[in-house]
Amino acid sequence: MLQIHSVQPNSPEVEPARALFAHYRDFLETIASTHCFDFARYTEEIATLPAAYTGLNGELLLALSNDTAVACTAFRGVLTEPPTTCEIKRLFVLPEYRGQGIARTLIAEALKRASSRGFTRAILDTDIVSMPAAYATYRTFGFTEYTPTGSHPPSLRFLERAIA
């Protein structure tokens, strides 16, 4: 049975969340289009989890299957956007658990919890070359593409949707 937990500071779930974030980092290191990704900053984020996703700012969610951490995602407010905009980050499912709807469950839960915190818009980015399944899943949730300012790798897509 799948359970979704909110990872709180100093809880026993912090270490499994860090492990999943590290798996995600290892995956990102294999992708050519992540050449502009700040791996040093991400390593710091892992070390300080769940700090970037706590309080009113957001939440780190951990999916457990039979008490084993198998997936995670997070959301947080975006400083460069209106205060009602959150960003969904770090969706990752262990390879052996993919195809079971866990990512969909996490996305739905993140949107529900973001709405309960007063967020009315969710944004995210994903790479369509290395993460086509993630892109397709977000599109089934009604996310549409938008173009942010600045230059970005051609395979990176920026998605948004209203949160009801």
Pairing of strands 58-65, 68-77: antiparallel
Instruction: Give pLDDT, residue 129.
Output: 87
Select from 39, 37, 48, 35 the least CA-distant residue to 74.
48
Angle at 48 between CA 53 and CA 152, to 5 degrees: 65
Per-residue model confidence as pLDDT tens digits over 125-144: 998 988 899 999 999 999 99
Q: What is the C-alpha to C-alpha distance for residues 143 and 128, in angstroms, rounded to an integer? A: 14
Per-residue model confidence as pLDDT tens digits over 65-94: 999 999 999 999 998 777 899 999 999 999
Q: Is residue 38 part of a domain?
A: yes
52: domain range?
2-122
Q: How confident is the model at residue 36 (pLDDT cuts 50, 70, 90)?
A: low
Q: How confident is the model at residue 19 (pLDDT cuts 50, 70, 90)?
A: very high
Instruction: Give pLDDT, residue 95.
Output: 96
Number of structural domains found in the chain? 1
Cβ contact 130:155 at 8 Å = yes
Q: Is residue 158 part of a domain?
A: no
Per-residue model confidence as pLDDT tens digits over 144-159: 999 988 888 888 899 9
Q: What is the C-alpha to C-alpha distance for residues 138 and 69, in angstroms, rounded to an integer? A: 22
Better-predicted residue by pLDDT, 117 or 39: 117
Q: Is 145 left (phi over 0), alpha (psi -120 to 50) or beta?
A: beta
* Residue 78, domain CATH: 3.40.630.30
In this model, does residue 34 exceed pLDDT 60? no
